[in-house]
Structure 1
Amino acid sequence: MPKAAPRTASRTPGARHVSLVALPDAVVSTLAGIYDVMNARSLMGTPSDSARAPFQVEIVGEATGPMTLASGVPMPVQRAIADIDSTDIIIVPSVLLRGSWSTGRYPALVAWIQRMHARGAVLCSACSGIFLLAETGLFDGKDATVHFGYARDFAETHPQVTIHPERVLVISGGREELISSGASTTWHDMVLYLVARFAGATDAQELARMYALQWHQDGLTPYITFEGKSDHGDAEIEAAQRWLSQHFSVANPVEEMIKRSKLAERTFKRRFTTATGVAPIAYVQRLRIEDAKRRLERTDASVDEISWRVGYEDAAFFRRLFKRTTGMAPGAYRKRFRIPEFARP
């Protein structure tokens, strides 16, 4: 028998078709969350609400039927990509990286995404889903974001894509059709953006209220923990880093590191910056700010006391540095990240 021709996904009149991609590496929480939130009007509203739903969301994959995701949970694939020759929005959910991402494992998905983009589809990634989307080559020379924990792996896998792990949402492309969201639950921001863009701000606000979703308006810098690069192979600098990890709060730590290294000052600073990617004084500042963040999260110490304990006698300077580094004032950071009273032992 001749093979049936590919079909356009069946559509609800007036609704944009969203193809939510299921693949074995996908994380169930992101995929299921996006599905429920974008289908909110159909799932929770009246029949008339369903008729006016702005999106029709389908879980798509290489074949229909149950697919076991990275979490070990089966997810039904509702439509095979071979049966879809047109869709409005494609979303690749978070994928779980065990070690590093291996390219070339999903050629049929990559080719289908390329075809859909050529026919006008908007491409979206949640968190680490950008690893798959970047294989299309459509993000080459473009800006994108990814979970900050995967930023180094992504840069090594796709060096042609400019990555901004501190950003919540990045919109690129000549038609603003390449959309990536950053760490973990920033898929909330992506979904709210898509609703605002294609259904209007009022719908986005209603959705945010319904699910208690919040825009990550402070960006992701406050969530990122600084970890100095140590796999650079420069034993002298690695020794200095180990010493600094325990003594960053002493007076004049850079001068002390240079003295202990027995290298010339210019040589030490050049080698340190080359090895770690950060100048010595900036490295010290990042270690001090990380310690201050933990103290704000876990203690009742005043900001002035924390400033002194991490190495700054001038509390006003510390406050400016903290905000410049994290994007938040110390008090605001404490309010955001400290465990609330009701949850403490």
Structure 2
Amino acid sequence: MTSDQTMSVSVVALPDTGVATMFGVLDVLNSFGIMGIGDPDAAPPFHAQIVGTEAGPLMGVSGVPVPVARSVADIDRTDIVIVPSIVLGPAGWKRGRYPEIVEWATRMHDQGALLCSACSGIFLLAETGLFDDRDVTVHYDYASHLQAAHPAVRIHPERALLVAGIRDELITSGASTTWHDLVLYLTGRFAGASVAQETARMFALQWHQDGLAPYMVFEGRSDHGDAVVADAQDWLRTHFSVATPVEQMVVRSGLAERTFKRRFTDATGVSPLVYAQRIRIEEAKRRLERTEDSVEAIGWHIGYEDPAFFRRLFKRVTGLSPAAYRKRYRVPLITAAG
């Protein structure tokens, strides 16, 4: 879908907003006509401005002053609301701190606006209740915090971008630089695919087409309080490559096999087999990033004698083959002269 009119975009600034995401979104959406993107004779697709509880300078969480153009109290209508990344403290998200923003965003949605979040901006937008029973994404490190704060939303941290709602009006992007996916989606939707591609080329923006699973680090739940399961987890961290890790954990526990597997799954959220596989894949990822070892040698090192099985498992977990993962995420060699 494209529009011949300029869309009004309100980018919400809060005291705990991450300014890098906010200014990135603002710069790209306001670039049309300035950077020579799209039809020079057409109206720009977007006019984005920073809004907040009050107009005037706002000190961002990183110590950078943010110029808030307008108070939401003075905005009766907007086409798109974007809440950029919010920096969470150690205690997570505390609800109810910005009721005027929540009420305004709800009112804008009722009038037809799209509600968009970049990364952790969903914490605020979810307070509208509009995302309950909807699929959303967020930074994978914030997923458990979001679930605690908003248990009714369905969280998919492995996804880079999710579009929900009857009108496709509830849009969430995931970790950090997936704001690229958000602005490219909006550009494609309202200015056309060719303009979105031109924008991506101009700014070197990337679609995270493989999702975010390759970035996610499996650590395993450890706050369950089951001492037997905790002992098995500790043992597995250094013995993941043994031939039969699940069977050996069962023997180590002193429990019946069925009992151990049930307790392990209840405590960690995954079965012992899946847990062992994820620990092995994390080690494989590190070796692909940092060593010259062959894929076959890495598979053997983590406990898989069948290279084909290792490749299939790795792709199922990360979304990429081992070779593709190494090509994309390998730590570059940095040399210094002298």
Shorter-chain TM-score tier: over 0.9
Match of residue 326 from structure 2: 334
Cα distance in structure 2, aligned partners of 1:57 and 1:271: 52
- Alignment partner of 1:202 is 2:194: yes
Cα drift, residue 51 of structure 1: 6.3
Match of 2:267 among 269, 272, 275: 275
- Alignment partner of 1:314 is 2:280: no
Cα distance in structure 1, aligned partners of 2:266 and 2:158: 22
Match of residue 83 from structure 2: 92
Cα drift, residue 333 of structure 1: 0.1
Check the 8 A contact 1:166/1:221 in 2, yes or no. Answer: yes
Total equivalences in the alignment? 331
Q: CA 1:62/1:42 → structure 2, altered by over 3 Å: closer, same or farther?
A: farther
Post-superposition CA distance 1:85-126 (Å, at most 9, x none) = 000000000000012000000000000001100001000000
Post-superposition CA distance 1:40-69 (Å, at most 9, x none) = 1244349x9496211011100111111011
Check the 8 A contact 1:36/1:43 in 2, yes or no. Answer: no
Q: Look up the equivalent residue of 2:52 and give its one-letter code.
A: G
Q: CA 1:149/1:36 → structure 2, altered by over 3 Å: closer, same or farther?
A: same
**1:62-141 equivalent positions in 2, closer than 5 A:** 62-99=53-90, 100-141=92-133
Match of residue 297 from structure 2: 305
Cα drift, residue 141 of structure 1: 1.1
3-state secondary structure, aligned to 2:32: helix
Match of 2:160 among 168, 179, 189: 168
Cα distance in structure 2, aligned partners of 1:58 and 1:15: 13
3-state secondary structure, aligned to 2:50: strand
- Alignment partner of 1:14 is 2:24: no
Q: Over the residues paired in the alignment, what is the CA RMSD in angstroms?
A: 1.4
3-state secondary structure, aligned to 2:241: coil
**1:286-297 equivalent positions in 2, closer than 5 A:** 286-297=278-289
- Alignment partner of 1:284 is 2:276: yes
Match of residue 219 from structure 2: 227
Check the 8 A contact 1:127/1:187 in 2, yes or no. Answer: yes
Check the 8 A contact 1:28/1:73 in 2, yes or no. Answer: yes
Unaligned runs of 5+ in 2: none
3-state secondary structure, aligned to 2:293: coil
Structure 1 runs, 4 residues or longer, greater than 4 Å off:
none
Cα drift, residue 14 of structure 1: 2.3
Q: TM-score, normalised by structure 2?
A: 0.95
- Alignment partner of 1:255 is 2:212: no
3-state secondary structure, aligned to 1:40: coil
Q: Look up the equivalent residue of 1:80 and give its one-letter code.
A: S
Cα distance in structure 1, aligned partners of 2:325 and 2:101: 41
3-state secondary structure, aligned to 2:58: strand
Q: Look up the equivalent residue of 2:46 and give its one-letter code.
A: F
Percent of aligned positions with the same letter in both sequences?
A: 63
Q: Look up the equivalent residue of 1:221 and give its one-letter code.
A: A
3-state secondary structure, aligned to 1:41: coil
Cα drift, residue 160 of structure 1: 0.4
3-state secondary structure, aligned to 1:180: strand
Q: TM-score, normalised by structure 1?
A: 0.94
3-state secondary structure, aligned to 2:51: strand
Q: Look up the equivalent residue of 2:295 and give its one-letter code.
A: V
3-state secondary structure, aligned to 2:166: coil
- Alignment partner of 1:323 is 2:315: yes
Post-superposition CA distance 1:238-272 (Å, at most 9, x none) = 01100111101011111111111111111101000
3-state secondary structure, aligned to 1:44: coil
Unaligned runs of 5+ in 1: 1-12
Cα distance in structure 2, aligned partners of 1:74 and 1:50: 35
- Alignment partner of 1:265 is 2:251: no
Cα drift, residue 344 of structure 1: 5.3
Cα distance in structure 2, aligned partners of 1:268 and 1:72: 50
Check the 8 A contact 1:41/1:50 in 2, yes or no. Answer: no
- Alignment partner of 1:211 is 2:209: no
